Structure 1
Amino acid sequence: MKEKIKKVVLAYSGGLDTSVILRWLIETYECEVVTFSADIGQVDSLENVEANAMKTGAVKAYVDDLKETFVKDYVFPAFRANVIYEGQYLLGTSIARPLIAKRQMEIAAIEGADAVSHGATGKGNDQVRFELGYYAIDPDIKIVAPWREWDLNSRTALMAFAEKHGISVPTTHAKPYSTDGNLLHISYEGGILEDPWAGPPDDIFTLTTSPKDAPDTPEIIEITFEGGDPVAIDGKPLSPANLLAELNQLGGKHGIGRIDIVENRFVGMKSRGVYETPGGTILRQAHMAMESITQDREVMNLRDSLIPRYAQLIYNGFWFSPEMEVLQGLIDSTQTHVSGVVRLELYKGNCTVQGRKSDHSLYSEAHATFEDDDVYSQADAEGFIRLNALRLRIRKLMQRKEAGRNHG
């Protein structure tokens, strides 16, 4: 017997899956449904999403512009850590899920809803990300995950349900892959990409020009940082969302930010994904360059040793966990002096650092120079080397003694 639900807030994109879910919730649980659609910079338009939700049976539809919040409070904190998952993935989908879950729960509180719902499947990571977020905010919330309950387990079945109930959906033909996009990236998975040996079709990409077709002339840009966050491009101050959008445009023009990876999902299986992250790729490169002259070596080594764990927490959906709070606090404390300007060259899929400067620079030309100087005694290096070699020398001496005894 299904749990009694009075009102549910559905994370609603307006696509086939969530449009069907909206009607299915009404019929299956005989409850009121409030939809919530987050504008976080995705390519798909949300222009008609409210009208479609109401037409399909929603009692109320929220469409919230969260682009600035997304970049300021989710993307920038992660990029202060130069975050990266399994060496390549910049976590574009993963970083967005806690924001959506948080706002969805806020709406549930406003509307007096006793349940929330999402369209994530039972095979993927998103179900975990959404639901861990829900429970972290309200341990007593009821969750409806239709893909784990219903028998509409094919696109054909979904289309038949939509047609039966007069549900307007944006497309009626099978897409060769599934996508998820926002201001940080767009992803492509499934369908024709499920064979890891098959290369992605040339026409799959939407944010970036092919490096082969990118401009033959390099473009030089400068990014200004304050306290670890980018604040301006070429001296022009920009809001977080507008800055990332501008970097997306620049990176896209020059074919920067394409990756094709096989990643390890939290639920246990491997998944092949193709991603475009033009602005994020530029931003990460620039931030690392800024840190290279403003970060203490051992502080940076300590922080970098924690990044695989930090990235895994985001990927696995633990944004609102106590360990995440501790890690974010440590990361933020390292960014106090990460301020200055980085100059980069964008050219045919590459983003190359050309220069960096900061009022907080730890780089000392007087100490690093190959020319004559008055601040560094090269003879000091001898004692430094001998002290560091001491354990290596002792180990070798012991090995010699052991070898002598064995041959004696």
Structure 2
Amino acid sequence: DFSSDAVGVILAANEIGGRHGLGMSDQIENRIIEAKSRGIYEAPGMALLHIAYERLLSAIHNEDTLAAYTAEGRRMGRLLYEGRWLDPQTLMMRESLTKWVASAVNGSVTLRLRRGDDYTIVNTEGDGFSYHPEKLSMERTDDEAFGPTDRIGQLTMRNLDIQDTRAKLDLYRQQGQLDGGQFDLT
């Protein structure tokens, strides 16, 4: 259990990911000075943690939240690359991503690693998932809440999304992020 040891998590992830050649990247990138450069990067631990974290994000949050997370993450990444760690816009993005996206992420992901970026996600478990295989399955057709023959799928999906949003609001309220159901704008 590495829950209180962030350095231990990175070291273990580096060892495991490195053993499998995960996280090697050869990139041509735009530098701050408007010139192109080539960089070869190796970050096996970050690649391993990224795969697991993204899997949990996709199981927990809806499509629109994930799109906002991706867009804000790219913007924040660029600001950090430029050394603007403490700019107000960076702080605002970091706070919103941490408060509304990261705070709901929990669970475990089991991966089967082979070589390089060749891996299989074997299992994903956790609380607060928006993914409910017992409610939604495109594989089974007996007694499904939603399946390949469902003609009112959009309405069913919206109802599932609304239920998941309510569950997340309850989680945020329990964490003290919502004060009596009101957003704190101060």
**What TM-score comes out, normalization by structure 1 length?**
0.35
Aligned residue number for residue 338 of structure 1: 105
The one of 290, 313, 317 equivalent to 2:83 is 317
**1:111-132: per-residue Cα shift (whole Å, max 9, x none)?**
xxxxxxxxxxxxxxxxxxxxxx
**1:327-356: per-residue Cα shift (whole Å, max 9, x none)?**
001101212221011101121113432211
Q: Is the 8 A contact 1:285 1:353 kept in 2?
A: no
How many percent identity over aligned positions?
Answer: 25
Counterpart Cα distance in 2 of 1:304 and 1:331 = 10
**1:275-331: per-residue Cα shift (whole Å, max 9, x none)?**
110100101001001112111322112221222211111111111100001100110
Aligned residue number for residue 54 of structure 2: 288
Point out which structure has higher relative CO (alpha carbons under 8 A, 6+ apart): 1
The alignment partner of 1:356 has SS state of strand
Q: Is the 8 A contact 2:112 2:120 kept in 1?
A: yes
Structure 1 residue 354 corresponds to structure 2 residue 122 = yes
- Specify whether residues 296 and 263 from structure 1 end up closer, same or farther in structure 2 by C-alpha distance, changes over 3 A only: same
The alignment partner of 1:367 has SS state of coil
- Counterparts of 1:55-70 in structure 2, within 5 Å, are none
Residue 373 (structure 1) shift: 2.8
Q: Is the 8 A contact 1:340 1:356 kept in 2?
A: yes
Aligned residue number for residue 150 of structure 2: 378
Structure 1 stretches of 4+ moved >6 Å: none
Counterpart Cα distance in 2 of 1:237 and 1:383 = 39
**What TM-score comes out, normalization by structure 2 length?**
0.72
Counterpart Cα distance in 1 of 2:97 and 2:143 = 36
Letter in 2 for 1:354: V
Counterpart Cα distance in 2 of 1:382 and 1:297 = 14
Counterpart Cα distance in 1 of 2:155 and 2:133 = 23
CA RMSD of aligned residues (A): 2.2
Q: Is the 8 A contact 2:136 2:144 kept in 1?
A: no
- Specify whether residues 381 and 247 from structure 1 end up closer, same or farther in structure 2 by C-alpha distance, changes over 3 A only: closer
The one of 255, 280, 285 equivalent to 2:21 is 255
Q: Is the 8 A contact 1:248 1:280 kept in 2?
A: yes
Structure 1 residue 328 corresponds to structure 2 residue 94 = yes
Residue 366 (structure 1) shift: 3.0
Q: Is the 8 A contact 1:367 1:373 kept in 2?
A: no
- Specify whether residues 366 and 328 from structure 1 end up closer, same or farther in structure 2 by C-alpha distance, changes over 3 A only: same
Larger Rg: 1
Unaligned residue ranges in structure 2 (runs of 5+): 157-186
